[in-house]
Amino acid sequence: MAMKTNARTPSAARPPSRLASLIREDIARRGLRARDRYLTAQEVARLFGVSTMTANRAMQELAARKILSRSQRRGTFVGEGVREERPVSLRSIHLLLPADYFRLDKPYFDRLVAGLHAELPEDSIQFTFFPPQGDLPFVREFVERLRPTGTLGGVVLFLSGPEVQRFFRESPIPTVVSGSVYPEVGGLPWVDRDQGEIGRRLADSAFARGHGRIGVLMRERWGFGDNLMIDGIHEALSHAKGGRGALVVRSLPSDPELIAGALRPVLSEKNRPTALIARSPVLAEAAAQAARGMGLRVPEDLEIFLADYYPDPRNRCPYPHAHPAIDPEEHGSVVGRMLQALARGKRPEPDHVVIPIEIREPEAR
């Protein structure tokens, strides 16, 4: 199943990496070449409706990649690197992922695709969903069907198993993993948040608040990054209260009613968890509703911590959460640059990015 999208980000919300991509587009649209004069930071800020600070950061990023050359005395010029960084059309990029994962995290995907569009403005971006079973046969048939058409320009993998990652590692198709690569596979470029740190720091926060028994709500389907997060929680648990912490893990579907049904027995136990770490916002909200339906107060009787959260000024997070250093648009831009490098026959530099996180308190709605 495929779905095309053309999401865009309002100019006021543009992160520096996305703005850098728009500046590159502007250079190409104007037909500028190396050593041609370019705009000042103030002019870039006015053109794209951003602050001068954001414009400066984006232009510094381009200067580091030699797309711009900046001098305090002479001004800003197009750099020599513009010759190598002209966009290569991949024609069609397929984001391969389980349908349940998309439903649980659709707002995140909408914003990530906006970042991809900034890097690959001429290419179509489509979602292609794995079936419930048989990922590898599906992928083989998918590639064989599209390869003769010449439209399969690149692939981004989400929540993919080792067999699928190994298949694309051996394939000539430019492929990037949004998530962590299995150690036994290796070789594929990837971008992911520091999953082990997410687990450790959320669990440490829960134990520091006096919670001795913690529940973890996971999606039905796991990737290698989920293993790393659980490992981080176990590491924190081993140091909590002399190793006396306890953990309950549940893998749950995307349907809120089914989530509530699965949680009621857990929350009805005499020695029930007093804190939950939810993998996604949908799981967190469903857990909060289920708890309130049982007469539990959130957060007084049950405190919820959120592992997967991306900054969104339109939808504040009501839970303590792992806050990534970059937003989904910038995440998508990083993936897009990796695909561009692969399309040129080059290894991306760097070929993997670990996104730092910090733990933040609930945000007022």
pLDDT at 131: 86
pLDDT at 15: 66
Q: Is 158 helix (H, G, I), strand (E, B) or coil?
A: coil
Cα distance between residue 284 and residue 216, in whole Å: 10
Topology of the domain comprising 3-83? Arc Repressor Mutant, subunit A (1.10.10)
What's the CATH superfamily of 195-323?
Response regulator (3.40.50.2300)
pLDDT at 228: 96
pLDDT at 188: 95
Name the strand (E) or helix (H) holding 63: helix 52-64
pLDDT at 254: 76
pLDDT at 86: 56
User: Which residue is listed with tokens 């002399």?
Assistant: 242
DSSP letters for 193-262: E-HHHHHHHHHHHHHHTT--EEEEEEESS--HHHHHHHHHHHHHHHHGGGGT-EEEEEEE-S-HHHHHHH
Domain boundaries of the chain, sorted by first residue: 3-83, 89-193+326-356, 195-323
Torsion sign, CA atoms 225, 227, 233, 239:
negative
In total, the chain counts a number of residues equal to 365
Crossing angle of the two packed helices 16-29 and 52-64, in degrees rounded to 10: 70
Where are the alpha helices (H) located in 94-223, listed in sequence order? 99-104, 106-119, 135-146, 162-169, 195-208
Same CATH fold assignment for domains 89-193+326-356 and 195-323: yes
pLDDT at 244: 55
246-252 sheet: strands from edge to edge: 246-252, 213-219, 275-278, 303-306, 321-324, 357-360
pLDDT tens over the chain, length 365 residues: 443 333 333 344 456 777 887 888 788 777 788 888 899 999 999 888 889 999 999 999 899 888 899 988 889 999 888 765 555 667 889 999 988 788 777 888 888 999 898 888 888 999 999 887 889 999 999 999 988 787 788 999 999 999 999 999 999 999 999 999 999 998 999 999 999 999 999 999 999 999 988 999 998 888 999 999 999 999 998 887 655 567 889 998 878 888 888 888 989 988 899 999 999 888 999 999 999 999 999 999 999 999 988 877 677 889 999 999 888 888 998 999 899 889 888 898 889 999 999 999 997 65
Q: Which two tokens stand for residue 66?
A: 């030699």
Q: What is the pTM of this model?
A: 0.77
Decide: 246 and 213 in contact? Cβ < 8 Å: yes
Instruction: Report whether CATH 3.40.50.2300 matches the domain 89-193+326-356.
Output: yes
